[in-house]
Each structure stands twice: as C-alpha cells, then as structure tokens.
Amino acid sequence: MDPGGATDVATARGGGGQVGVQIHQNRRLPDFLQSVNLKYVKLGYHYLISNLLTLCFIPLIIVTLIEASQMDIHDIQQLWLHLQYNLVSVIICSAVLVFGLTVYIMTRPRPVYLVDYACYRPPDHLKAPYQRFMEHSRLTQDFDDSSLEFQRKILERSGLGEETYVPEAMHYIPPRPSMAAARDEAEQVMYGALDNLFANTHVKPKDIGILVVNCSLFNPTPSLSAMIVNKYKLRGNIRSFNLGGMGCSAGVIAVDLAKDLLQIHRNTYAVVVSTENITQNWYFGNKKSMLIPNCLFRVGGSAVLLSNKSVDRRRAKYKLVHVVRTHRGADDKAFRCVYQEQDEKGKTGVSLSKDLMAIAGGALKTNITTLGPIVLPISEQLLFFSSIVVNKLFKSNVKPYIPDFKLAFDHFCIHAGGRAVIDELEKNLQLLPIHVEASRMTLHRFGNTSSSSIWYELAYMEAKGRMRKGNRVWQIAFGSGFKCNSAVWEALRNVKPSRNGPWEDCIDKYPVKVVS
C-alpha cells in the first residue's frame, strides 16, 4: 500500500513471461507521460548548460581550421617575417608568460591526498545489546523508573542495533568511570586504529610530520596527542595539535587544520585521529535531556593518513577537493543547544536542546549556501538564482528552488548523530534511500561514534564496492557550538576496502531494515 502515491509505476509479468508496465489507478496516463517528459527536459537542460562553452567553441574551431587550410606558402612566409620584425614583443610576451606560469605553480595550493584510513572495531565482549543495556541501567540504581522508561523508548526509536559497543568501565555493576579507565578506553581506540593504519600503509611512525587529534570531552594531561607521540616514538620536531570541546564536527576541523599545515610543510605526512571518550562522560542522573547521549553515543575512532607528496597520488584513495566550515556560535540558542553542564544534583552530562534539529537545519543551510556555488553545476546555480530573483521581484511566496546536490556528489556521508538527523537531511536535500544507507547502517552497527562516524560510513561504501574512480564524496558533520562542516573528496581510483576494515566480517548482512 502506498498512501502517498510515490509508487506509480510497477513492472508486471504476464503468463507468457512478457514484461509490461502497469500504471496505478491513482495516476492518469497523460500525467505520467508529462512527468517523464519533464524529467528528460530537465536532463537536456543540464546537459546543454554544462556543455555550453564547448558547444560555443566548436563553430570557432571549425572556422579557424577552414581559414588555416586556405593559407598558402606566401601567407606563412609573411607571418614569419612579421614575427621577426616584432622579435622584442615576442620575447617580452614569452617572458611574461613564463613568469606567470612560474608564479602560478609556486603559489597554487598543494594537493592533499588521503592515502588510507582505519576505523577501530572494538572486541565483541564490549557489545551492549538493548536488554543488557537496560538491565545494567536498572542495576546501577542511579535511575528512577521514569528515566528507565525514557531510555527504553529512546533506544527503540534511535536506529541503533544490537551490536554497538560501550567502554569496559560501563560493563561493571556498578560502573567504574575512573581516570585510569578513561585513559584505557582512549588508548585502545587510538592505538587500535593507528596500528591498523600503519600496517596497511607501511608508513613508519618516524615519517609523520604532523599529528592532529580531536576528542571533545576527554582532555587529560599530558594530552591525547602526547600519548600517541610517546607510544609510537614520533620524531621530536613533529607538529602536534590536540582539539577539545569541538563536538562531533571536529573530525572535519582536524582535516582542515592538517590541510593548512600541509600547504606549509613540504613532502610530509599528516595523521588525523578522531575519537570520543565515553567512560567519564556517562550521565548518572535523571534529567531527560541529558540521558539521550547515554542511548546514542558508542565507542569508536578513526585514524586518517594524509600526504602532500606527489608520489603518493598513485597509491592514494582520494584527493581533498574542498573544506567548508560554518559556525553559528554567535546565536545564543545555537550556542547552548548542545551544552555540558551539571544537573540540580551536581551530576555532569551533556544536555541536548529541543531546538537542536531546527538549529542543525539552519546551520546546514548556511553551510550549503557557501558550498553550493563551488560544487554545483552552473545549470543548478542558474535555477537557484532565478528562483530567488523571481521571489524578490514579484514578492511571491513560492519556495526557493532547492539545488539538486545529487548532480554534484555521488556519495553522501551524513554524520550518524541520530535517526532524526539523517531523516532531516534526507528530506531537506531530497536524497534517495541509497544515499543515506551508509549513515543509517553505521548508526545501526556502531551507534553515534561522534567525529569518526563519517569514516565508518565511507568504509561502508568501499566495502559495498560502490566507490569508482572520479566519484565525489560529501562528508557532512554537525557539532556543538553550533557548527556544520563539510569535506569533499574525489576518488582517484576504484577504491577497495582496506584490510581489517570495520565492516569486514559483517558487510554481507547489510543493509538491514531498521524498525520504525
């Protein structure tokens, strides 16, 4: 049954084995044919605008070739004499051209290549199925009946599956959220991802020139980046940075920082480690808005190897095309919509505002307003601009044209922050179910792993064999502050999954149907 009339055409097979088209009664044949015609008109429009420059040059090239074919030896000799008499002009023009090319080559941004990346997959004994999660919550005796029922409803609607992971300290009764346990969680996640990365890329830790680590809620002394330097004995002149308190969008921020550093330091590698720490940030109170993170956030992390070496292009998976960052922190509601605080009993947690989705939508709008003009084809930009002009001139209430980002990107990695986030972006960007499949399945299998979720999603696409040479990937991340950040990557080859990937043992089970 299709109450919305979305399925209007079905393939029917008759008794003779012939395949035909069956039109549902809720849509007349002329309407169907009209929609098909409009579809092909739009495709023709996009093709014409995208190739307009080429189409304009073709007549010019033809005329030039005709004129050149009609030149005789005398005309060529006259042209050569003219150049000889204007030798000074030719030399000056050549010198200017060479100088301009040299300046361009020396000042142009260096390409940044993503050689490989690794996502941490925790051991099976850390899995937290619904029943165990609720039983442990009940036995801790920190939650009243209302809070337990609230957590149960959130879990049922969250989109998380039965195989997500919580840290070791949360499996004890009562839990043991100590500083030592938090360090153990950080070490297991970061070192697990880095060991896998170094094994797959055969890069020596001493070759790393730049290290950027982001973790929002756990910032010990020495820092997490210092822990990595100590563990792998990285070189003494390494440029290391530790980003804290920047939320789930910090992974893109870390990539942007590494990109800027790779423009300055030649022929080196940068490693970006993205994670979150749950052990000391579990909420043991009864404030509803602060219980939601307990139900959504799970253990996970990623390590990404970036390079500015031209020789690495041959083995790299992707090239970084754009990074666009937008910040709504000047607005008080946006600033406080994801807020770490203490409840009335002094218990610390992260509170999520009821306005979160509306604020995320506004942040996304700001981000794509900046991103759109640099990634969308000119045909979409013209449609969007003309709709704005019509509304301004005629003061009509017609909704502005929503650009079709499917024309700019082949794959979408939407931060798996929660089911509502994915639903909202699928609706607002007019995406198809396959475009948000990686986000939904990552949320189902691993939960909200904060800033590393977009890498689990990219790994999903690779494991499914969908990443082809030239494909463009849009990573979209949201975070406290409030921020919306985008990274655009281009596949340099048909990308295959790396060894020991997070989906290696379960990709054949996916996609699964998520219960509404």
Residue 154: burial class (beta carbons within 10 Å; 0-12, 13-18, 19+): middle
**Residue pair 355/333 in contact by the 8 Å Cβ criterion:** yes
Handedness of CA 221, 224, 226, 232 (dihedral sign): positive
Does 337 participate in catalysis according to the annotation?
no
Q: What are φ and ψ of residue 483, in 5° steps?
A: -125, 150
Q: Which one of the listed residues 119, 294, 327, 413 is annotated catalytic?
A: 327
Per-position DSSP letters for 254-296, written without gaps between them: HHHHHHHHHHHS-S-EEEEEEE---GGG---S--HHHHHHHHH
DSSP 297: B
Find the length of the chain.
516
**Residue pair 450/477 in contact by the 8 Å Cβ criterion:** no
Does 248 participate in catalysis according to the annotation?
yes
Per the structure block, which two tokens stand in for 393? Answer: 């001139």
Q: Which one of the listed residues 444, 471, 484, 485 is annotated catalytic?
A: 444
Does 415 participate in catalysis according to the annotation?
yes
Distance separating alpha carbons of residues 323 and 71, to the nearest angstrom: 51
Residue 5: burial class (beta carbons within 10 Å; 0-12, 13-18, 19+): exposed
Q: Which of 344, 342, 262 is nearest to 310 (CA)?
A: 262
End-to-end CA distance of the chain: 17
Does 411 participate in catalysis according to the annotation?
yes
How many other CB atoms are found less than 10 A from the CB of residue 512? 12
Return the residue matching tokens 């759109």.
Answer: 372
Q: What are φ and ψ of residue 146, in 5° steps?
A: -65, -40
Q: Which one of the listed residues 196, 411, 413, 435 is annotated catalytic?
A: 411
Q: Which one of the listed residues 281, 367, 448, 471 is annotated catalytic?
A: 448
| Catalytic annotation, residues | 248, 327, 411, 415, 444, 448
